[in-house]
Amino acid sequence: MLAGAAGPAAAMCLRLVVELARMREATRLLRVDSAHVDGCLYHGQSGVDFAEKLVRLGGKVAVPTTLNVGSVDLMHPGLVRHDQETTNGARALMDHYISLGCTPTWTCAPYQLAHRPGFGRHVAWAESNAIVFANSVLGARTDRYGDFLDICAAITGRVPDAGLHRRPTVHLDCAALPAKLLGEDAAWGVLGHLTGQAAGSQVPVLTGVPGPVTEDQLKAFGAAAASSGGVGLFHVAGVTPEARSTGAVRGLQRTIRVTADDVRGERLPRRCGLPWHPALLTDRVRAAHRAAAACRRAVSPAGVHRDQSRRARRGGSARAR
């Protein structure tokens, strides 16, 4: 393929994949079953130029390849008010990726489509929430593949044997969290946010989580952990495919015990040595704290009574008006 047997586009893409492998100190390349491309989202002319060159060289994807969201709403073009140059560039980029043989799914959640990677299968997926879901919930394997590398993996069907395959792990013991709290969907987004802060780019393993856990809860957890940290793979003992028992945490050197106070957003960052001050909070973190407040009310009888009192007062005021 490097010599051009599969065409000049495949040769160019494989040179990039091989260079990435050299940088990552990978000793071999892996075959992938599918790819999910994020490079179809327009960020400037360079993305259009790269895709256009692949089309001009006769490039075609070698594995089933889905596309992330584009910058233009094809069904409601008037809702996104770009300038004409951006609109033209975004539409051209989307068309180029279709010409390369990608399926125009335009979704950031390829795991909700009919084709899902099987347990232990290698894929090349971009989009952070898709990466963490594929690795953790489906038990497949993908590293993080950004723009240009994602389509190179799709055209060659190859990726370096590196990255998330060899990450260290950190153990989060959740046995102290109330079962009622973990039964609330909102709690999983908050727990994921805290886990991302604690784990960074490591692989967290959660134990002490009572079942059952829904796929939507795992999706919220993974998306939050990927946003607040760099989590691309997590395990929940007794729930996710590679951690059906607590044996998954044997031999880990670092254990963090998560408490209800941690879910309130007050203690875990400090215990992990992370800076923490209200002035540094982003809108996303504030949203997580609002969700945490909702969880506290869900498990606190006093909170429930306060909510009921507020609703009663609002109803009374409305009737008075």
Report the pLDDT value the prediction gives residue 266, as an integer from 0 to 100.
44
Which residues are within 8 A (CB) of 247 and not within 5 positions of it... i.e. 6 or more apart? none
Residue with tokens 């006769």: 58
pTM beyond 0.75? no
Distance CA 26, CA 210 (A): 38
- Amino acid (1-letter code) at residue 39: G
Q: Using an 8 Å Cβ cutoff, are 40 and 70 in contact?
A: yes
* 34-74 pLDDT per residue, tens: 999 999 999 999 999 999 999 999 999 999 999 998 888 77
Residue 168 phi, psi dihedral angles, 5° rounding: -70, 170
CA separation, residue 158 to residues 7, 14, 23 (Å): 15, 8, 16
Ranges of residues in the chain with a pLDDT under 50 are 266, 274-285, 287, 303-304, 307, 317-321
Res 123: pLDDT: 95
d(Cα 198, Cα 200) in Å, to the nearest integer? 6
> How many C-beta atoms lie closer than 10 Å to residue 285's C-beta?
17
Taking the CA atoms of residue 199, residue 205, residue 207 and residue 212 in that order, the dihedral angle to the nearest 10 degrees is 110
Give the per-residue pLDDT at 139. Answer: 87
Per-residue confidence (pLDDT) for residue 280, from 0 to 100: 34
Residue 257, helix vs strand vs coil: strand
The pLDDT score that the predictor gives to residue 247 is 58
Token pair recorded at residue 135: 């690795």
Q: Which ranges in the chain belong to alpha helices (H)? A: 8-23, 45-56, 84-99, 128-136, 149-156, 179-182, 185-199, 215-228, 260-263, 268-271, 283-299, 301-320
Q: What is the pLDDT of residue 35?
A: 96
